[in-house]
Structures are given as C-alpha cells and as structure tokens.
Amino acid sequence: MAEKASTLLLFGATGDLSRRMLLPSLYGLDSDGLLPDQLRIVGTARTELDDAEFRARAQEALKEHLPEGFYQQGIADRFLARLHYVPLDINDPAGFARLSKTIGDPCHGVAIFLSTAPSLFKPTIDGLKRAGLACPTVRMALEKPLGTDLESSREINDAVAAAFPEDRTFRIDHYLGKETVQNLLALRFANLLFEPLWNSAHIDHIQITVAETVGLEGRADYYESSGALRDMVQNHMLQLLALTAMEPPTDFNATAVRDEKVKVLRSLRRITEADVESHTVVGQYGRGAIDGEPVPGYAEELGRDSPTETFVAIKAYVDNWRWKGVPFYLRTGKRMPTRDTEIFIQFKDVPYSIFAARGATTRPNKLVIGLQPEETISLHLMSKTPGLDREGVRLREIPLDIGLANAFSEYRRRIAYERLLLDLIEGDPTLFVRRDEVEAQWAWIDQIRAAWREKGMSPRSYTAGTWGPSAAIALTERDGISWHE
C-alpha cells in the first residue's frame, strides 16, 4: 500500500481549474473526513500572494463554485487552514528554493499536481529536481494537454520520466473520475446479465457522443492549437471506447485494468488516406442559436478565419475477436443543441419474431449510459401494450431508467476530481492513464490527421445549435443507422 501524502503541491493554484474544480474538490474531501489529518496543501503560481491572500481567494472560489448549501464555515475554516502559498516564476531558481523550504523534507509523502502549459513541463520538472523535490517517494500528477502529437507527447513523457518513473506518474483524464464511467466497469463485470452479450454476436453498433453547447469560452489559444480531434477524441472519447470494449481484467487494480485498455487502443483499425473521407467528418460551427439565443460562428469568436475543426465524427473499428465487424461511431462538437455525453449500445434484433404474424414489430434492445448532464443508465426493452389483442398484438419499446442521483440519493454527488485527487494522495493509479495508453491514442489520432492533410480535408460549416454537418448524418445512415439524439 502506497504511503499517503502529507503535502499536496498545486501548480497553477490561482488558475480557473483550481478555482472551479480542485479547491472545491479538496473541500469536499475534507468535509467527509477523507483527507489525512496532517495534509498540507501548498499552492503555487506566478501571482504574488501570501498565505492569507491565497486563503481569501480560495474562500471566494468555494462560495462561488460549491453546490448551494454545501459551504459550511466551520469546515471551510478547517480546510483553509491547510492552505499555504509560494509565488513562483518557473525560470527563477530562487522560487524553487522557497518552495522547497516551505515543503520541507519531500521524502515523507509529497504529491504534486501539475497544471501548466505543456511548454513549462520540462523547466518545472528541472526546477523541482534542482530543489530536491523529486526524491523517490514524490508522486507527480499531470493535467492535459500532454502534447499535440505522438512526438511531442513522448518528449513530455521523457522529461517527466527523468525525475518521476512510471509508477509515480499519474496522468489525468478527469472523465475517469466520473461515477458513471466507473459504473461502466461495474455494469459489465459485476452483472452476469450483460457480459455474455457484450460482443459482436449480440451487439450491432456502439455510439459515443460528447456534445457541448459552449463555444470558445476564452480558450481560443488552446483550442486553435488543438481542435476537436485532439481536445476530445484523443483522450476522453478513446478512454470511454477502451472501457466499453476492453476484455475483463484479472483484477480491479491499476496494472490489470490498464493492460486491457491498451490492448483495445492498439487494436483500433488505422484510418488511412484511402478511407478517411468515408470514415470521418470534420466541421466548424457558423453563427446560429443556442437555447433561442443567437451565437456567433467560430471564426467570428476567434476574430479571423481558421482551419480548426470544432466537430468530428468518426466510424471506427476494433479489430479483435470480440468486436470484429462492429462499428463504433464517435461524435463530438461545440455549439451542439444540448450538452450531452453518453455511450449508446444497440443490440441486434431478435433473429425471428413470433409476433410478426400478429402485426407486431420488434425493435433492437438499447442500453444508454449517460455521463452528463445527468448520470443515468437506461435499458430499452420491448413490452406488450395493455389490451385484449383482438386486432393483433401491440408491442412498444419501454425504458427501464436508473437515475443515479435518485438511486443513490443518500450519497452526495461528487466532482470527478475528488476521486482523482484522493487517489493521488493515497497513491492509487488505477484511474489514471499509463504512458503506453497515451502513445497508442496519439498514434491513432496522428494517422487520422495525416490522412486529412493528404486528402486536403477541411471543416464543413454547420449552424450553431445543430448536430454538425449533414455529412455526419450520412456517415451512419449509409449503414442504415441513425445517431441517437
């Protein structure tokens, strides 16, 4: 069992992620008594603050971002007392020396959360090494983006590995902290009902959708260097695909789970120049309306024309025994009609309907796993409608819905980062991404981007508030399939 951290060091402690997610998550853990009693939280950033000023900013963040009624002054006082702050310019060795003095002996349980621009990863890690803050017990968590392609990802991982070996490196994909994502494993591997059917003999196709209603939201520089493929597909969506498609691990531990995920990622069929036009669609939103309110197009928000995609749809295949011939349709975009993240699994229809002669039509069963805005599991089954059937049997599809908020109403709904921060503090890497996973993801994504360049593919325009370019509809309907909306 790994030693629990006694100090959590937060880089970028005055940034938006810290205010909206990290500090509220740590407060939530403290309110439940899950943080080690002696844990200190040391924040660092370029902003010149002292401890009192940082605590005041943290208190404002808690009041603004915690759920209504969750903030309690007594708990807040206890939590804020844990907070300390050291201003740091990454290029100033004296700053790292001050940081080292504040932390003390790092060999007694230090966990570092690094949320900075990728270009600052190497100088930050070099500074930590020089200051003696990279001893053999220190753990390092890395927030994305981890590069822009396979080559840059390897450069970042090499820089990290020079000070923090793989067993002490925790790469974050916050989707893996979501309860429903973890529930996907429970649904598959704790219920005999599903796993025997979880294969190409019984499943027709799978759809994974991550739809956002927002536009740039002040992230223009990042998004211009990323685009939808690298921002969403490379990490979140491929992780969801891997968890959906993986073989049963031998145990629920970091090595077994991640071994099975990487097998899936390496089995993804490469999309090449020959099939990129038939297997992918790229789009960019123009002006339109969201919830009845007019919104500008991407180029208008950016202030110039751009070739960056804000929408991607992909038809993918996992070439292994379990999934041979089953298409996985991935779709993500900004300025969609609704905010929605879901995994949609359509089973095959019954091979022969005994009700057809009585005028009844069957539909394939469906399993819908919703991640946001609400965490839900819905199983769609065929049922007979009430009646005496004098004019034939009538069948209707009915959903069996499990709203996790209702099913577990006695439990507080947690921020995804709560689980990840607690696992970092306790040293459990199961829900973090291993280097070979990241590189397998990048290898697949780089192939798509190379094929786009070779074919000269550019984003098709779609109206904000719609489900992307019309070509995305054709992507599935060529196979006799409609997107689940």
Report the DSSP pairing between strands 327-333 and 203-211: parallel
Structure tokens at 340: 């929605």
In sequence order, what are the residues at sequence separation of 6 or more whose Cβ sits closer than 8 angstroms to the Cβ of residue 239? 173, 175, 176, 181, 261, 433, 437
Is 50 labeled as ligand-binding? no
Is 384 labeled as ligand-binding? no
Q: Give just the sign of the alpha carbon dihedral 364, 466, 145, 475.
A: positive
Is 167 labeled as ligand-binding? no
**Is 65 a known active-site residue?**
no
Q: How far apart are CA 155 and CA 153, in angstroms?
A: 5
Q: How far apart are CA 149 and CA 446, in angstroms?
A: 6
Is 251 labeled as ligand-binding? no
Is 19 labeled as ligand-binding? yes
Report the DSSP pairing between strands 327-333 and 110-114: unpaired
Question: Within a 10 A sphere around the Cβ of 462, how many other Cβ atoms?
Answer: 25
Which of the residues 205, 236, 279, 380 is marked catalytic? 236
The secondary structure of 285-330 as a DSSP string is: EESEEETTEEE--HHHHHTS-----SEEEEEEEB-STTTTT-EEEE
Sheet holding 376-384, edge to edge: 395-403, 376-384, 366-372, 340-347, 203-211, 327-333, 311-317, 280-286, 460-463
Q: What element of type H or E holds 383? A: strand 376-384
Q: What element of type H or E holds 278? A: helix 276-279
Contact (Cβ atoms closer than 8 angstroms) between residue 313 and residue 286: no
Exposed / middle / buried, residue 141 (Cβ in 10 Å: 0-12, 13-18, 19+): buried
Q: How far apart are CA 370 and CA 173, in angstroms?
A: 18
Q: How far apart are CA 134 and CA 126, in angstroms?
A: 9
What b/e readout covers 389-414, taking b as 16+ CB neighbours within 10 angstroms? eeeeebbeeeeeebebeeeeeeeeeb
Is 124 labeled as ligand-binding? no
Is 178 labeled as ligand-binding? yes
Is 174 labeled as ligand-binding? yes
Is 89 labeled as ligand-binding? yes
Structure tokens at 268: 């993804």
Is 188 labeled as ligand-binding? no
Is 212 labeled as ligand-binding? yes
Q: How far apart are CA 168 and CA 57, in angstroms?
A: 31
Is 13 labeled as ligand-binding? yes
Q: How far apart are CA 287 and CA 466, in angstroms?
A: 11
Is 348 labeled as ligand-binding? no
Q: How far apart are CA 398 and CA 192, in angstroms?
A: 22
Is 20 labeled as ligand-binding? no
> Which one, of 412, 406, 348, 328, lies nearest residue 374 by Cα?
406
Is 283 labeled as ligand-binding? no
Is 84 labeled as ligand-binding? no
Grouping H, G, I as helix, E, B as strand and the rest as coil, residue 200 is coil
Is 16 labeled as ligand-binding? yes
Annotated binding site for substrate: 174, 178, 212, 231, 334
Annotated binding site: 12-19, 46, 89-90, 144, 174, 178, 212, 231, 334
Residues marked active site are found at: 236
Annotated binding site for NADP(+): 12-19, 46, 89-90, 144
